Amino acid sequence: MSVAAKLLLEFIPNLVYRLQVTQNRCDNNLEKVGQNTLTSDIPLHLHSPRLGFLCVFSVLCRYLHLDPAEEYKMNHKRRGLALIFNQENFGSTSRAGSRNDRDKLLMRLTEMKFDVKVYDNMNEEEVYKSISEAAEADHSDADCFLLVFLSHGDKDHVDTYDGQISIEDITSPFKGDKCRTLVGKPKIFIFQACRGDKNDDPATACDAVDSVVEEPTGDGARYTLPAGADFIMCYSVAEGYFSNRNIASGSWYIQALCELFEKYGDSLEFTELLTLVNRKVSVRSVQCGDSQKDGKKQVPYFASMLTKKLYFRPKK
């Protein structure tokens, strides 16, 4: 190894450390200054040249991702498979507005370079078969896996055309001990369904009712993960509550999720984006002229077993 190469190897770790220290100081200073400027109409970075530098430097450090081990590898050949189960019709009843959710999701996920498969009004056997086929597929060249289920539901299950399927039965085939090619990769499950003891009421005129700590490892070292690691469960509503759906435009949750995917899907870390979805949905209220429903609220819920940060940066 040349002298120049040795010097470079000694210089880089020291540079990274100094950048990390400076970033932390910048973030702390920004937080202190930001507390006094939240109500100002002047952009934060224009209060002073020094503050402008802090803003730019902090953003630059985050963009460079100084520790790549903390972020999921999302530069595989494919983004990955995305399944959308849209259960709109149930014999004599239907979930009006669900088609809008399906179409918006199809558009956004396709833009994010997912290989999207849409399944409409499947019976229980067909759902199990489709899930089994997806779990048995080869995901070696994929970044991640995503599944969305739009239906009626309750605490621990969602409805198919002719029956029910437990959320555990949907997710378990993708655990690390069963789906080896998804080990260490994000597995995202999104459920738009009620989680209380009542189903949606599609007759309503406007709004219907619908961790692991990674041990440090050396270069080239091998480590194992729990079979349930790298999952994130996203629900339209907290357990025990109704999930609201507008019969004209679709569900509050899916519409908010798609809108924020469009705005920030390629820049925000995924759990940060979900937090914005929570806020967007939580500020809404039911307005339908029914005194028993008017003013009702909803807040989504997500449970993360992710072990790294998740970004959907644009595919090259």
Residue in 179, 194, 234, 258 annotated catalytic? 194
Residue in 152, 179, 234, 258 annotated catalytic? 152
Q: What does the H/E/C string look like for 83-108?
A: EEEECCEECCEECCCHHHHHHHHHHH
Residue 152 designated active-site: yes
Residue 234 designated active-site: no
User: Would you name the residues annotated as active-site residues?
Assistant: 152, 194
